[in-house]
């Protein structure tokens, strides 16, 4: 898998007040762009989620909630 750039990871994260959000559909789309033939999509997604979590230093993961057409993960600033 190609490694996601810092800019690509930052683009996946949105902020509102003390919360940060990342949508599962956007992560899956980026994983599809970066994946190579012999790799599993889930592995690529996992690497992206890890990169998002690392970039949110000072935030604590709260939950994943269903938004109708997609799921979004939520972090809260600590």
Give this prediction's pTM: 0.89
Contact predicate 70/21, CB 8 Å: no
pLDDT for 47 = 93
Q: pLDDT, tens digit, for every residue of 65-78?
A: 999 888 999 999 99
- Judge whether 1 lies within some domain: no
- Judge whether 35 lies within some domain: yes
C-alpha gyration radius of the chain: 12
Q: pLDDT, tens digit, for every residue of 8-65?
A: 999 999 999 999 999 999 999 999 999 888 889 999 999 999 999 999 999 999 999 9
- Judge whether 32 lies within some domain: yes
pLDDT of 3 higher than 90: no
**Residue, of 1 and 39, whose pLDDT is higher:** 39
Both tokens assigned to 36: 């190579």
Residue 32 neighbours by CB under 8 Å, 6+ apart: 41, 44
- Structural domain of residue 72, as residue ranges? 6-77
- Judge whether 28 lies within some domain: yes
Q: Please state the domain count of the chain.
A: 1
């Amino acid at each position: 898998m190609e490694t996601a750039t810092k800019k690509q990871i930052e683009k996946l994260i949105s902020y509102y007040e003390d919360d940060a959000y990342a949508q599962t559909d956007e992560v899956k789309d980026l994983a599809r762009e970066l994946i190579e033939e012999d790799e599993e999509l889930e592995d690529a997604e996992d690497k992206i989620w890890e990169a998002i979590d690392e970039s949110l230093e000072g935030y604590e993961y709260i939950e994943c909630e269903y938004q109708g057409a997609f799921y979004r993960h939520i972090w809260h600033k600590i």
